[in-house]
Amino acid sequence: MSQLIGHQIQESTEIQKTISDLVGSVQKLNAQLTGIKPIHPEHAESGKREIEQAGKIRGRPLHFNYVGSGAGHGAYVELEDGSVKLDLINGIGIHLMGHSHPKIMAAAIRGALVDVVNQGNLQPNREYSRFLEKIVGLAGKRSRLKYGWLATCGTMANESALKICRQKKTPARMVLSFKNAFAGRSTMMAELTDNPAYKQGLPEYHEMLRLPFYDKRDPQSIEKTLTQMKEHVAKHEGNISCFVFEPMLGEGGYQAAPREFFLPLLEFCKEKQIPVWADEVQTFTRTGELFAFETLDIGNYIDVCTVAKTAQVGCTLYTEEFNPKPGLIAGTFSGTSAALSVGIETLEILTKEGYLGKNGRIMDIHHKFIGMLNELNETTCKGKLQDAGGLGLMVAVTPFDGKKEQVDVLLKKLFDKGLIAFSCGKDPVRVRFLIPAIIKDSDIQVAKSLLENAILEGV
Ligand SMILES: Cc1ncc(COP(=O)(O)O)c(C=O)c1O
């Protein structure tokens, strides 16, 4: 049988060799980036111009003095001002494999060689179905999730999820969700998000029913949340479209909750036939298993699950019963060919190279990173880096008294010293790290010394 030209392009040994030579040449240059470097005097001026211009043209200065040069190596990234930083935030969690991972680069090039840059839901290419096959297969191992629909980001995946739940429970409109939840930036996801700073001037639609998240300091926490859920349901019986939750509050402060917290809530939803939607946009691939619902062993309760970020595209996963009627979810874009190809490769690497499971590299990194923060808190930075915790590659710590002004100063200081981190939570505000899965133990020691220096200088 003759081979399709599209398949010949992907499988040609000549093209594969060209890709590997190309990646090899780029890697040779990137390999020079082995550690942090300060701003280079020769690039200081032009770098500053780039940063100022980016801020000027969007009407708001950049949060950090960060414009990437296009080079990076593992956990390190080179900026336009010639500095090299240890990147522990990775585009708020997109670059799970760090910067310029050779397999990720090769996958992106393979994707770039297909006939179209963007794929769509009407005319998909093979990457579309390969990605969905893979993620649905993996999701279905420990849940009833059976189908997936692509979107371009987490917000749009969440929009599809909410529509699916609402259609299933029509005409119900109310949504059970946690205090301090974050769900994205569309009108509806801003409503679902519990942060007034993200919706200044927007009308309230009064469709959210809030529940307190787990509080490890309160022995009554589980009971209180369940009672609140029961009260909401009693008051709005028949008008609840779903219960949506982040398995660990992301923007809300990186406070993890045990399985025992979720179980009674999920059992109650099951009893009342309230759809359960897990927003795993931030937790996907990070908690030691692919899905946090696996880490928490609650997969059987999940009706709908959303992912994005490390997947490189948004995706809404759902069970047989939640497959929506035609017309409800669609959209022009389903992701770029390169993004889909990289999404497939990321799942391949994660499942085949020892990253997952209790003894996998992700949990190894988690323990080492938390250990490092606790050690600082007990020794040179006594009491100034408290409550280190999180799940897998999502780690946060409360510096000083957890005041916003202190954390902002600390984060800028860390950035200037060469460590990129970010904040989360409101009270307290915490420093968070979205650690790349390829970080080396020696990089964790670099982070330690930068943190120690910055904390000892004070704010
Ligand atoms: C839990 C959660 N849901 C949804 C989103 C929105 O995803 P995106 O920014 O890709 O639209 C985010 C982004 O941070 C998130 O953390």
| Tens digits of residue pLDDT in 401-459 | 999 999 999 999 999 999 999 999 999 999 999 999 999 999 999 999 999 999 999 88
Helices and strands counted in the chain (H then E): 15, 17
Among 89, 92, 153, 155, which residue has the most ligand 1 atoms within 8 Å of its CB, making it the best to mutate? 155
State the closest ligand 1 atom to the C-alpha of 250, by its place in the atom list counted from 1: 16
In the DSSP assignment, the letter for residue 238 is T
Q: Say how far apart CA 450 and CA 442 lie, in whole Å.
A: 13
Contact 435, 369 (CB under 8 A): yes
Cβ partners under 8 Å of residue 26, min gap 6: 100, 105
| Separation of CA 158 and ligand 1 centre (Å) | 8
DSSP lists the bridge partners of residue 433 as: 395
| Atom number, ligand 1, closest to the C-alpha of residue 309 | 10
Q: Which atom of ligand 1 is least distant from the CA of 314?
A: 10
Ligand 1 center from residue 194 Cα (angstroms): 13
List pocket residues of ligand 1, CB cut-off 6 Å.
Answer: 92, 153-155, 158, 182-184, 246, 250-251, 279, 281-282, 308
Q: Name the residue of 94, 249, 282, 315 whose CB sits within 8 Å of the most ligand 1 atoms, as the mutation to test its pocket.
A: 282
**Residue of the nearest CA to atom 8 in ligand 1?**
154
Q: Determine the pLDDT at residue 458.
A: 87
Q: pLDDT tens string for the chain (459 positions)? A: 899 999 999 999 999 999 999 999 999 999 999 999 999 999 999 999 999 999 999 999 999 999 999 999 999 999 999 999 999 999 999 999 999 999 999 999 999 999 999 999 999 999 999 999 999 999 999 999 999 999 999 999 999 999 999 999 999 999 999 999 999 999 999 999 999 999 999 999 999 999 999 999 999 999 999 999 999 999 999 999 999 999 999 988 998 999 999 999 999 999 999 999 999 999 999 999 999 999 999 999 999 999 999 999 999 999 999 999 999 999 999 999 999 999 999 999 999 999 999 999 999 999 999 999 999 999 999 999 999 999 999 999 999 999 999 999 999 999 999 999 999 999 999 999 999 999 999 999 999 999 999 999 988
- If we measure between CA atoms, which residue out of 352, 304, 358, 321 comes closest to residue 148? 304
CA atoms within 13 A on the CB side of 351: 14
Cα of 187 from ligand 1 centre, angstroms: 14
Q: Scan for tokens 């280079």, then name that residue.
A: 40
pTM: 0.97
For residue 246, give the ligand 1 atom closest to its CA: 1
**Ligand 1 mean position, distance from CA 449 (Å):** 31
Beta-carbon contacts of residue 448 (< 8 Å; ≥ 6 apart): 372, 375, 376
Measured by CA distance, the residue closest to atom 3 of ligand 1 is: 183
Q: Is 290 helix (H, G, I), strand (E, B) or coil?
A: coil
Q: Cβ distance 319 to 144 under 8 Å?
A: yes
Q: Distance, CA 279 to ligand 1 centroid (Å)? A: 9
pLDDT tens digits for range 171-186:
999 999 999 999 999 9
27 Cα–ligand 1 center, Å = 31
Tokens 């982070």 belong to 447
Please give the order of strands across the beta sheet that includes 145-151.
145-151, 314-319, 304-307, 276-279, 240-245, 174-178, 208-211
Check: CB of residue 212 under 8 Å from CB of residue 180. Answer: no
DSSP 57-113: HHTS--SSS--EEEEEEBTEEEETTS-EEEESSHHHHT-TT-BS-HHHHHHHHHHHT
Q: Give pLDDT, residue 459.
A: 80
Q: What are phi and psi of 242, to 5 degrees?
A: -175, 165
Closest ligand 1 atom, residue 280 Cα? 1
Instruction: Enter the tokens of residue 89.
Output: 């935030």
Q: How far is the CA of 92 from the centre of ligand 1 (A)?
A: 9
Residue 342 neighbours by CB under 8 Å, 6+ apart: 104, 107, 108, 111, 312
Query: How far apart (Å, rounded) are the C-alpha atoms in residues 280 and 293?
Result: 9
